[in-house]
Amino acid sequence: MAFITHSLKNAAFDAIARFVLVACVCLLLAPRPSAAAPTEITQLRVERADDGVYLSANVRFDVPAVVEDALLKGIAIFFVVEADIYRDRWYWTDPRVASAARTLRLAYQPLTGRWRVNIVSGLITSSSGLRATLNQNYETLPEALSAIQRLSRWKIAEVSEIEADANYALELNFRLDLSQLPRPFQIGVAGQRDWTISAQIKDQLRLTPAGVEGAK
């Protein structure tokens, strides 16, 4: 009787071991979703014109499936872009001489099946609300994203704030602003990598006259 019980235990253990082994092999061989490409700021150009300093750049990023799903359910997504200019100073910390911000709101309109982009000067707060300076509708999500990803001659400083013969550093930040999501939704997405869309550039530059290629 003891021999039979021992044999049954061994058989059960072998069956469990084979099941675990097969499960591990299946997990290793199962196709895995490819990681989203990192957010990247490219083609950065800063120009000095008669009426101010202008920035142009492209921001490359993919919209994860969970973010697109939230958009299709009627949840608006906000992106923030901030630019700060610092003057190089060898004897102390670099002072910030100019600062600019822009908020971009992306939303899907189920009734029309179109996408809407609102571009707001500055940051949105509970008191300021949505002061849109530019509203545009698009037929597809890629078209709407193109308007968000392209920064074209964005004025980030006045001429009086910048000296032509001085050296400066530019800090440019782009991010998805989770604080603008509905409060219950913020709790659910906090810490999720799929909701992290951000990029930063901080580099030395010399401002160039408008129309001259390259600023970095």
8-26 pLDDT, tens digit per residue, is: 445 544 555 454 443 433 3
Instruction: Give the per-residue pLDDT at 188.
Output: 65
Q: Any alpha helices (H) in the chain, and if so which ranges?
A: 2-29, 65-72, 141-149, 183-189
Q: Examine the pLDDT at 91 and tell me if it is beyond 80.
A: no
Least confident of 31-45, 68-82, 139-153: 31-45
Residues 6+ apart with CB under 8 A from 214: 45, 208
- Angstrom distance (rounded) from CA 120 to CA 132: 5
Contact assessment for residue 41 and residue 61, using Cβ atoms and an 8 Å cutoff = no
pTM over 0.95: no
pLDDT recorded at residue 2: 45
Beta bridge partners of 122: none
* Amino acid, single-letter form, for residue 133: T
Task: Quick: pLDDT tens for 52-84.
Answer: 999 999 999 999 999 999 999 999 999 999 999
How far does CA 18 lie from the centroid of its chain?
45
Q: What is the pLDDT of residue 20?
A: 40
- Report the chain's mean pLDDT, rounded to a whole number: 79
Residue with tokens 């799903």: 69
The per-residue pLDDT for 193 is 79
164 confidence band (pLDDT: 50, 70, 90): confident
Instruction: Name the pLDDT band for 4 (thresholds 50, 70, 90).
Output: very low
93 pLDDT tier (thresholds 50, 70, 90)? confident
Q: Domain spans of the chain?
A: 1-32, 40-209
Q: Residue 124 corresponds to which tokens in the numbers above?
A: 């949105």
Residue 146, pLDDT above cutoff 90 = yes
CA distances from 82 to 17, 64, 106, 153 (A): 56, 23, 17, 14
Name which residue leads in pLDDT, 213 or 74: 74
